[in-house]
């Protein structure tokens, strides 16, 4: 009887070991997917399943920080009047963030869902030296590719997280969670969303934040659109 139990126990532990090994292999094989171009249909499923892979902050940052000679395509894009108009629009918004003390030249800023990088360009031009722009599509040298729902940065490495892309986020709560994770305690998070016409609409956005306190709300015009700017501060006590 004891022998049988022992055999059974041995089998169980063998099976457990096999399962653990397989899970590990599975994790490893999928972890390496995170920074490869993904089929957009699978991207979000992957992002959700393999959330928060700890990458060095430098993986997306190295190229984005250098004032690179832009390639021909982006040079042409950036010489258009529309580009200038958009960058200037962001510059005006950032000027108000400076006056609120949320942003300075020494701030390490993360722009999430940065699109073509108008916000990144505006920050650079205004003298902010450390700006990282990310979005689903690579736009060198301003914007590096990664999923806003699964940022490849360590916790707390930025002073300010900025995004005008929450309205398009597939999973707004996850989007905000990742910004809160990557911004240091006491740092700022600023979201620009479609104009909120009521306190309830502002509250909807505020409620997405779990680790931040409310700093303020304001109206702004961004590239001709009436927007609401919501400013939060990462709690200094909460992990
Ligand atoms: C920020 O940097 C820009 C460009 O170097 C400079 O013109 C500006 O005075 C700086 N602002 C502050 C507050 O130091
Ligand atoms: C922003 O504009 C809306 C109307 O578009 C108004 O109801 C609201 O009071 C304004 N908020 C602030 C902070 O000025």
Q: Which ligand is nearest to the CA of 129?
A: 1
Atom of ligand 2 nearest to the CA of 195: 5
Cβ atoms of residues 190 and 161 within 8 Å: yes
| Ligand 2 pocket, residue 217 CB under 6 Å | yes
Q: Is the pLDDT of residue 194 over 90?
A: yes
Res 13: pLDDT: 59
pLDDT at 72: 72
Provide the pairing of β-strand 158-163 with 143-145. unpaired
| Bridge partner list, 219 | 228
| Whether residue 165 has pLDDT greater than 90 | yes
Q: Express each pLDDT in 196-208 by its tens digit.
A: 999 999 999 999 9
Q: Which of 147, 77, 64, 65 is nearest to 112 (CA)?
A: 147
Domain parsing of the chain, residue ranges: 3-68, 74-234
Is the beta carbon of 105 within 6 A of some atom in ligand 1?
yes
Which ligand 2 atom minimizes the distance to the CA of 226? 5
What number does the ligand 2 atom closest to the CA of 218 have?
13
Cα separation, 61 vs 53, whole angstroms: 16
* DSSP calls for 7-40: HHHHHHHHHHHHHHHHHHHHHHHHHTTTTS---H
pLDDT, tens digit (0-9, with 9 covering 90-100), for 54-109: 333 444 444 444 445 556 777 777 888 999 999 999 999 999 999 999 999 999 99
Q: Which two tokens stand for residue 181?
A: 């994770």
Residue nearest atom 1 in ligand 2 by C-alpha distance: 219
Compute the average pLDDT of residues 111-140. 96
Q: Give phi and psi for 224, each to the nearest 5.
A: 80, -10
Which ligand has the nearest atom to the CA of 128?
Answer: 1
**What's residue 90's pLDDT?**
97
Alpha carbon nearest to ligand 1 atom 10, residue: 127
Q: Is 58 helix (H, G, I), strand (E, B) or coil?
A: helix
74-234 belongs to CATH 1.10.10.60: no
What is the chain's mean pLDDT, rounded?
80
Cβ 236 vs Cβ 186: under 8 Å: yes
Pocket lining: 129 vs ligand 1, CB cutoff 6 Å:
no
Q: Which of 3-12, 44-53, 79-88 has the highest mean pLDDT?
A: 79-88
- Pocket probe for ligand 1: among 98, 105, 107, 128, the residue whose CB has the most ligand atoms within 8 Å is 105
Residue nearest to atom 3 of ligand 1 (CA): 127
Provide the token pair at 220. 């702004």
């Amino acid at each position: 009887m004891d022998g049988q139990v022992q055999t059974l126990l041995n089998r169980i532990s063998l099976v457990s070991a096999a399962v653990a090994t397989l899970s590990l292999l599975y994790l490893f094989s999928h972890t390496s997917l995170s920074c490869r171009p993904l089929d957009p249909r699978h991207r979000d499923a992957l992002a959700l399943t393999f959330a928060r892979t700890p990458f060095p902050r430098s993986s997306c940052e190295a190229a984005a920080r250098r004032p690179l000679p832009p390639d021909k395509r982006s040079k042409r894009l950036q010489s258009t009047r529309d580009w200038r108009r958009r960058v200037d629009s962001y510059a005006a918004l950032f000027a108000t963030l400076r006056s609120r003390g949320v942003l300075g030249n020494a701030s390490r800023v993360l722009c999430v869902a940065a699109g073509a990088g108008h916000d990144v360009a505006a920050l650079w031009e205004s003298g902010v030296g450390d700006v990282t722009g990310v979005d689903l599509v690579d736009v060198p040298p301003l914007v590096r590719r990664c999923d806003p729902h699964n940022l490849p940065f360590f916790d707390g490495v930025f002073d300010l997280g900025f995004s005008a892309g929450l309205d398009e986020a597939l999973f707004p709560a996850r989007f905000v969670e990742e910004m809160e994770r990557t911004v240091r305690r006491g740092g700022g998070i600023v979201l620009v969303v479609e104009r909120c016409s009521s306190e309830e609409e502002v509250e909807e956005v505020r409620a997405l934040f779990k680790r931040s306190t409310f700093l303020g709300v304001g109206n702004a015009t961004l590239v001709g659109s009436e927007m609401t700017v919501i400013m939060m501060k990462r709690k200094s006590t909460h992990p």
